[in-house]
Structure 1
Amino acid sequence: MNLELFIAKRIYFSKEGERKATPPVVRIAMVGIALGLAVMILSVAIVIGFKKEIRNKVIGFGSHIQITNFDNNTSYESTPVAVSDTLLNHLKSFPGITHVEAFATKPGILKTDTDFQGIVLKGVDENYDWTFFRNNLKEGEIPVFDKDKTSTDVLISCYLANMLGLKVGDSFLTYFVGENIRPRKFHITGTYETGFVDYDKIFVMADIRQTRRLNDWDADEVSGLELQVDNYDHLDQIAEDLYFDIAEKQDRNGNSYYTRSVKEMNPMIFDWLDVQDINVVVILVLILAVAGFTMISGLLIIILERTNMIGILKALGECNTSIRKIFLYISFFLIGKGMIWGNVIGIALCLIQSFFHVVKLDPSIYYLDAVPIDLTVLSLVLLNVGTLAASMLMLLGPSYLITRIEPAKSIRFE
């Protein structure tokens, strides 16, 4: 029989009238743990959700890895590379790569009767993965490109449609500047909205044959290739392996290939997302500290309240270690109950925000229209285990107060 656990249960589960000052202390300590854990769950879920949503938006517009001409600059007037079937087959069989698609870009000016706006026409072919745009489709439908016929159908953002007074089914002229000004008329089949305004306001998705004609490129020339990986956690390693694998290869025109991951193409965005990890660590440490000190105060008051009992136990031959275990067991019960309520509150708030989007955001600043939530079982388990371990460790020091209590004086203590 575990005597320390038995005594701890008798103290903790005794009726409130038998506990004297313990009930308010217990409630304060449990509330501190519950609120602390609930806030930690929310903080982690929001940060993980925020990073995931922003990351997915950037990847949706540019995929995980891009292979372009080594001589390309940062503008959308790109130097083409010729893509052979041999290269495509090699990339499709490369470890970690799940999808390969070609794209070609051409800057232009979209003009209506009353307004105009600079855009980038991004041409894709029938192999393009429309999952990202399909998930963000607001009206109409995704354009379908036949490999044997050039299409004038395009997908534009709600941002552009609202700015220029366009809607699904409308047609518009776009002017492209080269040696001559080339007008092209396009037909809108659908509108999308990602909330990522920096990209929404410029990209118009079209048939790759249109951009090839505007750039005077051959049928096998493209701005680049977009590659998707099977595991984002392995992105850096896959991009590095691929870089060295095709670094010495050249296309039929003698152009070299340049491989970059989405992190390398958007360093400012991903550096900004990495900073969020520091913020959440600071929040967790502060909340744990506050909750821990609340529990320390509660434990000290419980020890002082039971000074008489401690003296009697010592007089009966119990050692300090055994008595400390009794009060640590009591603390464990308090922390456990507080954590149960903390999980209930934290998970409930996450579910409410996830389904009803109660807290809104300004997309022009945060790239999202509502606070995102991504709560995983792993993060929930780690938070609970970490909170329990940190709280119990913080209570080891205060429990040493028991060793300072003398039986002769404490037995007379009231």
Structure 2
Amino acid sequence: MADGVDSLVSQKLGGYPYTTTTWVELNGGLYKWLMIEKWFAFVVLSLIILVAAFNIVSTLTMVVRDKTKEIGILKAMGATAPEISRIFLVQGLIVGFIGSICGGILGYALCWIQDKYHVVRLPAELYQVNAFPVEMRVLDFVAIGSAAIVICLLSALYPARRAANMDPVEAIRNE
């Protein structure tokens, strides 16, 4: 839209000695910096999420290993594989829910602090703004929280399946 307005104003002014510049052209450095920062944040956050997912898998796998005898007893008493699996999926869901709530609160607090106190400042001589802009949208918080819960649930699938497929006799005997 800015380009359309730019060309319209240029036509009305008749060209030389008048020139027009769009706000995108004026603030090109800022927008390039913001795009680089956005991609960098995406990569860093993706790596953090990957590490968190591996931690959930390893933690629940250790719980399955530690609870081998109890799982064997439950299966010997008639618990079905889906019921055993559900126990560990619910644990993953609880971890995801608590983590999403804590992360949402922390994220909101950090965004609010940046918005209110401008902790992350930008050089005013290079950019048109003096602080890193923050926009908080409810949909973003809901989407990120939901994604975290789904990732935790997916991370719990392997340990849940491993627990569900245990042989009750072997589980009780080897403990």
Tell whether the structures are fold-level matches, with TM greater than 0.5.
yes
Q: 1:334 aligns with which of 78, 95, 99?
A: 95
TM-score normalised per structure 1? 0.36
Contact 1:310 1:407 in 2 (8 A): yes
Deviation at 1:379, TM superposition (A): 1.0
Inter-partner Cα distance in structure 2 for 1:276 and 1:379: 18
| Contact kept in structure 1, 2:69 and 2:171, CA below 8 Å | yes
CA 1:70–1:281: 2 relative to 1, 3 Å = farther
Distance (Å, rounded) in 2 between the aligned partners of 1:395 and 1:72: 66
Equivalent residue number for residue 113 of structure 2: 352
What is the Cα deviation at residue 377 of structure 1?
0.7
User: What's the CA shift for 1:366?
Assistant: 4.7
CA displacement at 1:324 relative to structure 2:
0.9
Q: How does 1:395-410 map to 2 (within 5 A)?
A: 395-410=156-171
- 1:319 corresponds to 2:47: no
Give the alignment of 1:77-96 within 5 angstroms: 77-78=17-18
CA positional deviation for 1:386: 1.2
Distance 1:359 1:270 in 2: 14
Q: Which has the higher contact order (CA 8 A, sep 6+)?
A: 2
Identify the residue that residue 148 of structure 2 maps to in structure 1.
387
The equivalent residue for 1:82 is none
Query: Secondary structure of 2:125's partner?
Result: helix
Between the aligned residues of both structures, percent identity stands at 29
Residue 69 of structure 1: aligned partner? 11
Task: Tell me how many residue pairs correspond in the alignment.
Answer: 172
Counterparts of residues 221-370 of structure 1 (less than 5 Å)? 268=28, 272=32, 273-370=34-131
Q: Are 1:307 and 1:410, in contact at CA under 8 Å, matched by a contact in 2?
A: yes
**Structure with more strand by fraction:** 1
Equivalent position amino acid for 2:105 in 1: V
**Quick check: 372-381 or 361-370, which moved more?**
361-370
RMSD: 3.3
After superposition, the Cα gap between the structure-2 partners of 1:393 and 1:72, relative to the gap in structure 1 and judged at 3 Å, is: farther
- Greater Rg, structure 1 or structure 2? 1
Against the structure 1 CA distance between its residues 71 and 361, is the aligned structure 2 distance closer, same or farther, given a 3 Å change threshold? Answer: closer
Give the Cα–Cα distance (whole angstroms) in 1 for the partners of residues 63 and 103 of structure 2: 22
- Unmatched segments (≥5 aa) in structure 2: none
Residue deviations 1:310-345 (CA, integer Å, cap 9, x gap): 101211222222211111101211221122111121
SS at match of 1:310: helix
Residue type matched to 1:336 in 2? F
Whole-angstrom distance in 2 between the partners of 1:312 and 1:267: 67
Paired residue secondary structure (1:299): helix
Superposition map of 1:107-146 within 5 A: none
